[in-house]
A and B are shown apart, each in its own frame.
Chain A
Amino acid sequence: DGGITQSPKYLFRKEGQNVTLSCEQNLNHDAMYWYRQDPGQGLRLIYYSQIVNDFQKGDIAEGYSVSREKKESFPLTVTSAQKNPTAFYLCASSTQTAKETQYFGPGTRLLVL
């Protein structure tokens, strides 16, 4: 069964703590993306990666970091520098970048203790 998996479903962060959200895909997609969703707002792009070992900042990259060591995996770290991390985080992938449909994972909800 091909698809995108994200874990955990819920994540709790203490102040000053870095946390990492997992995103794995078995669709053989080259491009992967991280979005943040806040209530009443559209999805906003955090980071994207077109190929392994390469990634670029999106519109709201401050306080976040990523890596792309494998084609299938694109983990997102929410650092302590992100002052308002509470949100629903969505990972997506596509076969290429331009014009291709992005398919989304089930999401991780991050809450601050």
Chain B
Amino acid sequence: EDQVTQSPEALRLQEGESSSLNCSYTVSGLRGLFWYRQDPGKGPEFLFTLYSAGEEKEKERLKATLTKKESFLHITAPKPEDSATYLCAVQARGTSYGKLTFGQGTILTVHP
């Protein structure tokens, strides 16, 4: 059974204090790993897709990396507007449709 575990459950940072969120996964062959940002009461907003170990993608203050067992979302010099829940999901090979298995999310709060 595919599993995704995100840590920490919640993270509080001061503005400018860089840190990383972790997404550990167990899947029978990874087809893709997806990061989303979700604001309270809203739908998830797509951030990145990673397909193979060693791959990295960046967007503004965010950088996602992938190994064979986990992915990190690095946040550099965060701002209060980066506060949100960050969701990680994996898609396994062998599924005929785009089933995503989600982690429970990391709630990030950035204080000014």
Partner of B100, one of A4, A6, A43, A105: A43
Cα distance A100–B49 when bound, in Å? Answer: 9
Q: Check if B87 is an interface residue, CB within 8 A of chain A.
A: yes
Give the interface residue-count category, chain B. Answer: 20 to 34
Give the interface residue-count category, chain A. Answer: 20 to 34
Q: Given the complex, which residues of B lie within 8 Å of A109, measured CB to CB?
A: 41
Contacts A104-B43, A107-B43: A98 and B97 contacting too (C-beta < 8 A)? Answer: yes
B103 and A42 within 8 A (CB): yes
Q: Given the complex, which residues of A lie within 8 Å of B43, measured CB to CB?
A: 4, 6, 90, 104-107
A99 and B98 within 8 A (CB): yes
Cα distance A43–B36 when bound, in Å? Answer: 12
Partner of B32, one of A43, A50, A99: A99
Q: Check if A110 is an interface residue, CB within 8 A of chain B.
A: no
Q: Given the complex, which residues of B lie within 8 Å of A33, measured CB to CB?
A: 98
- Within 40-85 of A, Cβ neighbours of B (below 8 Å) are at 40-45, 48, 50, 56, 58
Taking Cβ atoms with an 8 Å cutoff, the residues of A that contact B are 4, 6, 31, 33, 40-45, 48, 50, 56, 58, 90, 94, 96-107, 109
